[in-house]
Amino acid sequence: MRIRAIVRRIIRQMRRDKRTLALIFVAPLVVMTLMYAVFGGSLPEPKIGYVAEATIAEVVEGIHPDWIRYDDQNRAKLAMEDGALDAYLQLTIENMKPLVNVTLEGSDPSMSKETMQSIQEAMQSMVAPLTAKLQEKLPPSPANAKQAAPFVQIAQPELVVDTLYGDKDMSTFDRIGPMLIGVFVFLFVFMISGVSFLRERTYGTLDRLLASPLRRSEIVAGYTIGFGFFALLQTIIITAYATYVLHLQIEGSFWYVLLIALCLALTALSLGTLMSAFAANEFQMFQFIPLIIVPQVFFCGLFPLEAMPEWLQWISVLLPLTYGSDALIDVMIRGKGFEAIAPSIMVLVLFATAFLVLNVWALRKYRSI
């Protein structure tokens, strides 16, 4: 009887805690659905361009009509920098031997591997039709005009591979490292700020501040700056450790990396304090992680978005970690400057501002209760 009484009490308690029930039954389904979308798809066909003379171009168009022909190498390179290509080829023939200079975009090893496989298969299938095409263009034997042209045979193409960003030996950690910096900064600042602000409520400190002449906007600003100081230190430590101790590849400026990480920390800080207004204890605060942090990890670029269904890809636009990861990749792998990351930084600042405004609203609601 006593055991049954304990069981009944726990069941009644759980039935009243709707957030915990959602975490138990709904959150796993959401995470599994995201994993299915991420790992259930396949990478799209690589976008490949090429520069070649008319004879070779005719053969390429017959094998891969989806490849894009460019007039010169500079135009192909600009297209790759704009994200329109995963690779471009410069095709020439010297002494009946095709020479193929391949330039990979290089920032994503998995896509680079897929692209190289597609190029190698195409080059192997190009030998026979290219041989026939050159055979047609050879003049007949001078000894007898009616005699057929001498037979030629094209050798297997020789591939010379280069990368626009990084190098072809870039490790997986170099690829995902920039995004890991963003994930860790966002995750830990979110948890620390949310739990700390929640303690201010549960210990009664926030009630005393709300009863004082301080305005709610001043309270939010004060907490943001106070917690922000420790978020700043944490961000510097994480970024410096990954860069100088783990030797994570960084092509651009370290200060730009730090600026992006700080913007992510500010966004996580304002979001964490906002979410703490809807939690009654620390356990409930941690319940937000599967619903707020986990989806951002899936959509920030750690896993290829192109492999997901199109109806899911738009979710990444609504998540701040997406913009932070894109900016970190632009600086650390692609070596770009401030003009490339400025739009992402502006979006992160807008996210942080929106969360801070909602924080003021949440304090008004909390005080009215």
List pLDDT tens digits, range 57-75: 888 888 888 888 888 888 8
Count of helix runs (H) and strand runs (E) in the chain: 16, 5
pTM more than 0.85: no
User: Could you report the per-residue pLDDT of 239-295, keeping only the tens digit for each?
Assistant: 888 888 888 888 888 899 889 988 998 899 889 888 887 777 777 777 788 778 888
Element (H, E) at 89: strand 87-94
Q: Give the chain's mean pLDDT.
A: 78
User: Could you report the per-residue pLDDT of 192-213, keeping only the tens digit for each?
Assistant: 888 877 777 777 766 676 667 7
Is residue 233 helix, strand or coil?
A: helix
Task: Burial-class residue 340 by CB neighbours within 10 Å (0-12, 13-18, 19+).
Answer: middle
Spatial distance between the Cα atoms of 23 and 96, rounded to a whole number of angstroms: 66
In degrees rounded to 5, what are phi and psi of residue 204?
A: 90, -5
In degrees rounded to 5, what are phi and psi of residue 95?
A: 55, 45
Secondary structure in 3-state letters for 257-287: HHHHHHHHHHHHHHHHHHHHCCCCCHHHHHC
For residue 343, pLDDT beyond 90: yes
Residue 357 · residue 271 · CB < 8 Å: no
Spatial distance between the Cα atoms of 324 and 347, rounded to a whole number of angstroms: 9
For residue 369, pLDDT beyond 60: no
First to last CA, the chain: 40
User: Could you report the per-residue pLDDT of 89-124, keeping only the tens digit for each?
Assistant: 888 877 667 788 888 888 777 788 888 888 888 888
User: Could you report the per-residue pLDDT of 112-157, keeping only the tens digit for each?
Assistant: 888 888 888 888 887 777 777 666 655 555 554 444 444 455 666 7
Annotated domain spans of the chain: 2-39+171-365, 48-160
Residue 359 · residue 133 · CB < 8 Å: no
* Residue in 48, 51, 61 with CA at minimum distance from that of residue 116: 48
Spatial distance between the Cα atoms of 51 and 76, rounded to a whole number of angstroms: 8
Average pLDDT of span 14-26 = 71
- Identify the architecture of domain 48-160 in CATH: 3-Layer(aba) Sandwich (3.40)
* Residue in 254, 245, 260 with CA at minimum distance from that of residue 182: 260
For residue 366, pLDDT beyond 60: no
